[in-house]
């Protein structure tokens, strides 16, 4: 199917929804569309990346175990594999 056919298929499916289901789909679709916008790093994120690159260039490295250990302390509610 080409893009136009896919769009028409989605429109037909949306058109057949009852009001309550349409509300759910509408909000889900908005979330998807909004999340597909290009993400721009904040100044703090840029600084953190620059700092990490500098540390890496200086030859400082951390083991996987050390990173996981530090992350578990900082983020106790996250599940790690």
Domain definitions of the chain by residue range: 3-35, 43-74
Structure tokens at 43: 């100044």
Structure tokens at 13: 């499916």
**Cα-to-chain-centroid distance, residue 72:** 21
User: What pLDDT sits at residue 39?
Assistant: 78
User: What pLDDT sits at residue 54?
Assistant: 93
The answer to pTM > 0.75 is no
Residue 61 has pLDDT above 80, yes or no: yes
Are 80 and 72 within 8 A, CB to CB? yes
């Amino acid at each position: 199917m080409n893009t136009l056919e896919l769009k028409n298929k989605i429109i037909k499916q949306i058109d057949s929804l009852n009001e309550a289901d349409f509300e759910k789909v509408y909000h889900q679709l908005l979330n998807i569309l909004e999340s597909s916008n290009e993400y721009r790093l904040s100044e703090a994120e840029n600084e953190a990346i620059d700092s990490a690159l500098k540390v890496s260039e200086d030859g400082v490295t951390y083991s996987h175990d050390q990173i996981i250990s530090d992350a578990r302390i900082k983020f106790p509610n996250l599940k790690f594999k």
